[in-house]
Amino acid sequence: MIKSINLWSFPAKLDLEGCFKMAKQMGFPAVEMTCDLKGRFNIGASEEDCQNVRRMAHQMGVQLTSLASGIAWTYCPTSEQAAHREKAVESYRRMIQISRWLGVDSILVVPGAVQIPWDPKFKPVRYDTAYERAADFIEKLLPFAEKYQIRVCIENVWNHFLMSPLELCDFVDSFDHPSVRVYFDVGNVLRFGVPQHWIEILGKRIHRVHVKDYKLSGNWLQGFCPLFEGDVPFKEVISALKKAGYDRSLTAEVNPPTEATLKAASKALDKIVKM
């Protein structure tokens, strides 16, 4: 498995060159790019911009693994606002194209939400309505995913939606399309289930993995913590991933985004990869 770090984990003051340089210094051979509405790398990136990023990463000896985005929290694919749903489709189609330009094979997709726990302004969506809208959203991405040969990887997130591995399996399988896969987040699932059981059930559907730790005694969002300081059973998680045949990136996503946090995460991930 490939040891990787998410771009959000780097200090905001660093530009992309600084992030790649620090990743290499900290012992991360791979970086997951992130694409936001604005910032050091965003949805306005051109093909030339992406080629420059690829070239820079290659020159520094850093592999790019995938593309993540938080745009779905701003333009939710299941929102009651039709304009937001349309903007989500437009944004993710663009990011699928950006993924190809970057030379990565997958994009993390939040398919929508029933509720967003940290956003009191988000109006809750009825579950069956959210399911229909999420399915419609993914269907609209598939022609682009097929054209650019990018896997649309559905992540298990705190969106009060697709709350069990069985439901996530059914959702992915309903498209009967090789481009629709799973982006499994080890830490996100702990509040609601047992991560190794999810892995066993999702199996080959898992195409990318995020590594976070979570303390069950914590207060919801405050429960996320440094690797090995929470309750994620990493030995069992790695065993389940190996049994599922997973051999791609293990991408740490850590906070706060500081040099010290990155250094600790690198050492912890070394131990996890070797389990």
Grade residue 220 by pLDDT with cuts at 50, 70 and 90: confident
Specify the pLDDT at position 221. 84
Report the domain count for the chain.
1
For residue range 251-264, list pLDDT tens digits in order: 999 999 999 999 99
Specify the pLDDT at position 242. 98
Q: Mean of the pLDDT values across residues 35-56? A: 97
For residue range 5-40, list pLDDT tens digits in order: 999 999 999 999 999 999 999 999 999 999 999 999
Specify the pLDDT at position 219. 85
Alpha-carbon distance 131 to 113, whole Å? Answer: 9
Specify the pLDDT at position 21. 97
Cα 135 off chain centre by: 19
For residue range 231-252, list pLDDT tens digits in order: 999 999 999 999 999 999 999 9
Specify the pLDDT at position 218. 82
Q: 79: domain CATH number?
A: 3.20.20.150
Q: Which two tokens stand for residue 271?
A: 């131990």
Beta carbons of 252 and 227 less than 8 angstroms apart = yes
Domain that holds residue 42: 2-273
The pLDDT of residue 217 is above 90: yes
